[in-house]
């Protein structure tokens, strides 16, 4: 009887929100012309707080073991890493919000089994809390990105695109720093596209 009561009590705690906090996300990068979309299942997620207004959120569909292994160059990997940099938390009634307002920057690395591309842009979002909380949730709408860097052979199947969706990240400064270092190393190795090349990208019908 005691065992049954204990089990019931544990079940009640889980149902009332005492379960460990978890990260989850559903983000999609959609071509502006509607011909392609890229929305992988993001399972490795963490965020770090810089101060009360600034935070970095990292998300990936690659296994955490590969992302955190300094000896793994991700050679031949297929997947993505997303970096959302929140640099301002709007304050209701005190922060002017223009139609083209921007309070976050977004970068997304796409690894295509050898060739690699980096999409970058920005947008506006209202976070659930200020950076520093145990978790941070962000809803994205109409954030615009385009291919900014790419290695030889990368096929831009999206062209100019928008990112929409939601991300809820548990604060883990150490993991976020590790993911950030991996992301920056990949991005730094990619050549910058000329403006004319970036503007002339096309959008075939399949996702990266």
Residue 195 banded pLDDT, cuts 50, 70, 90: low
Q: In angstroms, rounded to a whole number, what is the distance separating the alpha carbons of residues 58 and 163? A: 15
pLDDT at residue 12 is higher than 50: no
Contacts of 143 (CB under 8 A, 6+ apart): 104, 106, 121, 122, 123, 124, 125, 162, 163, 164
Q: In angstroms, rounded to a whole number, what is the distance separating the alpha carbons of residues 206 and 180? A: 28
Tens-digit pLDDT profile for residues 48-74? 999 999 999 999 999 999 999 999 999
pLDDT at residue 203 is higher than 60: no
Residue 120 lies in a domain: yes
Residue 95 lies in a domain: no
Which residue did the predictor score with more confidence, 205 or 187? Answer: 187
Tens-digit pLDDT profile for residues 91-140? 765 555 555 678 999 999 999 999 999 999 999 988 999 999 999 999 99
Q: Is the dihedral of CA 163, 110, 37, 135 positive or negative?
A: negative
Residue 4 lies in a domain: no
Which residue, 85, 156, 146, 86, is CA-closest to 115?
156
Query: What's the mean per-residue pLDDT of the chain?
Result: 85
Residue 208 lies in a domain: no
Residue 207 lies in a domain: no
Span 34-38, mean pLDDT? 94
Q: How many domains is the chain partitioned into structurally?
A: 1
Range 186-189 contact pairs with CB under 8 angstroms and sequence separation of 24 or more? 186/74, 186/81, 186/109, 186/111, 186/116, 186/118, 187/107, 187/109, 187/118, 187/149, 189/151
Residue 7 lies in a domain: no
Span 173-189, mean pLDDT? 97
Tell me whether strands 44-49 and 37-38 are parallel, antiparallel or unpaired: unpaired
User: Which residue range forms the structural domain that includes residue 110?
Assistant: 21-90+101-199
pLDDT at residue 200 is higher than 90: no
Residue 9 lies in a domain: no
Which residue did the predictor score with more confidence, 150 or 10? Answer: 150
Whole-number pLDDT of residue 100: 63
Residue 16 lies in a domain: no
């Amino acid at each position: 009887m005691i065992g049954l009561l204990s089990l019931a009590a544990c079940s009640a705690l889980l149902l009332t929100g005492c379960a460990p906090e978890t990260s989850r996300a559903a983000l999609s990068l959609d071509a502006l012309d509607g011909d392609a979309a890229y929305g992988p299942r993001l399972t490795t997620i963490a965020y770090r707080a810089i101060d009360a207004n600034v935070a970095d959120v990292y998300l990936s569909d690659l296994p955490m073991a590969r992302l955190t292994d300094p000896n793994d160059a991700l050679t031949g990997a297929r997947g993505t890493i997303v970096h959302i940099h929140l640099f301002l938390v709007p304050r209701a009634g005190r922060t002017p919000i223009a139609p083209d307002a921007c309070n976050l920057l977004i970068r997304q690395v796409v690894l295509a089994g050898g060739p690699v591309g980096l999409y970058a842009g920005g947008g506006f979002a209202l976070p659930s809390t200020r950076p520093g909380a145990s978790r941070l949730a962000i809803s994205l709408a109409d954030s615009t990105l385009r291919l900014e860097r790419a290695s030889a052979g990368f096929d831009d199947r999206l062209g100019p695109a928008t990112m929409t969706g939601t991300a809820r990240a548990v604060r883990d400064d150490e993991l976020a720093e590790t993911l950030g270092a991996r992301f920056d190393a990949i991005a730094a190795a990619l050549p910058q596209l000329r403006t004319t090349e970036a503007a002339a990208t096309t959008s075939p019908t399949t996702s990266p």
